Chain A
């Protein structure tokens, strides 16, 4: 059984101009997939459809064989790290949010919720930050905390939105090692416009620019160029790639 199965999905905010159109996608068990594409290419829309935050206009979405809203508890979601304003909440409290759903409405977090949260902080090497306010952390630290939060829900699939957008290249490297490590126990899907860094770490890549352009274990310059609608320079393994003249001026998808 595929963990995520999209059949001919069209979705977006405007029926006449959908952000993604006729998309077929399948994520297998133990997969480590990057979904790449330009800004406004529909990456966020795709994520929202999988998370059940957006109903598709057309097509079928199955997550763990069921409707997305039904399977949410099996998904660990890691949003983009956005440098936000101040907020009085400790790192431990943020990580506990990963158990908000399982703890239940009107209930407090239990001792076992706290133990799991502490464990995940430990695992990500940020246990010493547990008592700190989240707004005092660096981008890289925040990202680890958000991953710990997702893991606290004990997911079978990890979904990450632009995970390397606000961290430096050194942090990126250890971050991908961490993901490879986690991948031994769960499937991982990450969405990014940063094509370069991902290609040497992931098992499969999908390119999306309204349509799903290609999908598989390898990817050619032609595919990426088609997705981005512009020339693209693809250098294998590790060396940062650059998108030339990527169109950043489209509407956000």
Chain B
């Protein structure tokens, strides 16, 4: 085990995992209580279009993906009804269009396809200092927003209309939430890849929801669970020489189904 931590890339993987878990639990909880998992899936896949375009025009892929994710999140948010985010069809179209555009752009750019695998399935073994810095910055934004606007986030998630009548600028709180959701999706792509990012955002939160009496506790518990799943996943993947992203998701799913079958709920 000591050997595992003697490698810088392993240290970086652990640091990123710990940092990503914070944003993952907090934002994942918001996504779950707002019933927005398919929305999140769509922006994750839409970001692939930005990734491909970035390769084609020669900017940093992360930048392209981020712009597409934030753009599509705000776009859907602005276009759709206040109470319900986007129609199913629009989501599915965005999901597939993002992937298709990405694949075409990447083919045109002549990028070596092995690079793509890391975006699709995660690349915890190649975490850079910049990745760590970005994730830490996102944590600050997420935690700061929740610290100062907790009651508003609970309000728009529980009863948007009532919150609006209270005079809260719901468009701002909602926009902030959508941007945080998009950025968290991008950061977590490093951990699990865009294909499986929904699982990491929603599984810990869904388990936490069953045992929490408030959104705050749900966020905390979801972060802890996401951290446990990711760390355990890293160890297991090291020992069994398996890719870390899928192992993390499999571990999460097993615990999720166990939790589902107990059906316990606290008051």
Q: Which residues of A are in contact with B by a Cβ distance under 8 Å?
A: 51-53, 72-73, 75, 77, 79, 85-90, 93-94, 96-98, 100-101, 103, 105-106, 108-109, 131-133, 136, 149, 153
State how many residues of chain B have any CB contact under 8 Å with chain A: 31
Query: Min CB distance, B147 to chain A, in Å?
Result: 9
State A90–B148 Cα separation when bound (angstroms).
20
Q: Which residues of B are in contact with A by a Cβ distance under 8 Å?
A: 33, 35, 148-152, 154-155, 157-159, 161-169, 209, 212-215, 217-218, 265-267
CB neighbours (8 Å) of A132 from chain B are 267
Cβ contacts A to B, 14 pairs, < 8 Å = A88-B209, A89-B158, A89-B214, A93-B214, A97-B154, A97-B162, A97-B163, A98-B166, A100-B163, A101-B167, A105-B149, A109-B151, A133-B213, A136-B265
Query: Min CB distance, A116 to chain B, in Å?
Result: 15
Query: Min CB distance, A229 to chain B, in Å?
Result: 29
Query: Min CB distance, B82 to chain A, in Å?
Result: 10
Query: Min CB distance, A100 to chain B, in Å?
Result: 4
Q: Which residue of A lies closest to B164 (CB)?
A: A53
Q: Which residue of B lies closest to A100 (CB)?
A: B166
Q: Do A90 and B213 touch across chains, with their CB atoms under 8 A apart?
A: yes
Q: Do A105 and B213 touch across chains, with their CB atoms under 8 A apart?
A: no
Q: Do B218 and A88 touch across chains, with their CB atoms under 8 A apart?
A: yes
Q: Do B168 and A100 touch across chains, with their CB atoms under 8 A apart?
A: yes
Q: Of B157, B162, B213, which one neighbours A131 at CB under 8 angstroms?
A: B213
CB neighbours (8 Å) of B167 from chain A are 72-73, 101
Q: Of B148, B149, B154, B168, which one neighbours A89 at CB under 8 angstroms?
A: B154
CB neighbours (8 Å) of B35 from chain A are 85
Q: Do B165 and A97 touch across chains, with their CB atoms under 8 A apart?
A: no
Q: Of B166, B217, B218, which one neighbours A97 at CB under 8 angstroms?
A: B166
Q: Do A88 and B155 touch across chains, with their CB atoms under 8 A apart?
A: no
Q: Do A79 and B151 touch across chains, with their CB atoms under 8 A apart?
A: no
Query: Min CB distance, A215 to chain B, in Å?
Result: 25
Q: Which residue of A lies closest to B267 (CB)?
A: A132
Instruction: Please name the 4 residue pairs, one residue from A and one from B, whose CB atoms are nearest each other, closest first.
Output: A101-B166, A101-B167, A100-B166, A88-B212
A sample of 15 more A-B contacts (CB under 8 A), given A89-B158, A136-B265, is: A53-B161, A87-B158, A88-B33, A88-B209, A88-B212, A88-B217, A89-B154, A89-B215, A90-B214, A97-B151, A100-B151, A100-B163, A100-B168, A101-B168, A109-B151
A100 and B152 in contact, given A88-B209, A105-B168 (Cβ under 8 angstroms)? yes
State A98–B168 Cα separation when bound (angstroms).
12
Q: Of A52, A73, A77, A103, which one neighbours B151 at CB under 8 angstroms?
A: A103
A131 and B267 in contact, given A51-B165, A97-B162, A97-B166 (Cβ under 8 angstroms)? yes
State A77–B31 Cα separation when bound (angstroms).
27
CB neighbours (8 Å) of B152 from chain A are 100, 105
State A139–B232 Cα separation when bound (angstroms).
43
State A142–B22 Cα separation when bound (angstroms).
33
Query: Min CB distance, A82 to chain B, in Å?
Result: 10
Query: Min CB distance, A37 to chain B, in Å?
Result: 20
Q: Of A87, A133, A136, A153, which one neighbours B33 at CB under 8 angstroms?
A: A87
CB neighbours (8 Å) of B162 from chain A are 77, 79, 97, 149
Q: Do A88 and B214 touch across chains, with their CB atoms under 8 A apart?
A: yes
Q: Of A93, A101, A131, which one neighbours B154 at CB under 8 angstroms?
A: A93
Query: Min CB distance, B267 to chain A, in Å?
Result: 6
Query: Min CB distance, B194 to chain A, in Å?
Result: 27
